[in-house]
Amino acid sequence: MSKVRMLSLFAVAAIVSTSLSSCVLTVPVAATSNPIGTKVGTSSGMGLLHIIRLSPDSGIQQAAKNGGITKISTVDFKQTDILGIFQTYTCTITGE
């Protein structure tokens, strides 16, 4: 097999493997001195191209409302990125 053909196959394989990948990142955002409670609230949303938010209610306030939480203990944020085109956001909080 010629060097040019091998380089071409390698380039194609590299492009395909990086373009078909996704990434999930979970980050603890905040913690308070409140004890960790028994309630958990989540809110989710979607985005497009890291610019357009398709679901704007994916924040701490909405997660607290969904879980019936008035005293927040911890806040975690999870972002999934698919092909750099589609993103999903999930905010998870614990508290009472």
Predicted pLDDT of residue 63: 93
Predicted confidence (pLDDT) per residue in 13-67, tens digit:
766 665 555 677 777 777 788 888 889 999 999 998 878 888 778 888 999 999 9
In a domain, 81, yes or no: yes
Q: What pLDDT does residue 62 have? A: 93
Let me know if residue 4 belongs to a domain: no
Which segments of 1-96 are extended strands (E)? 22-31, 39-48, 52-53, 72-82, 86-95
For tokens 């890291």, name the residue.
50
Has residue 38 been placed in a domain?
Answer: yes
* Parent domain of 46: 22-95
The predicted pLDDT at position 66 comes to 93
Which tokens go with 83?
């092909």
In a domain, 61, yes or no: yes
30 within a domain of the structure (yes/no): yes
Is 17 within the bounds of a domain? no
How many domains does the chain divide into?
1
The predicted pLDDT at position 18 comes to 59
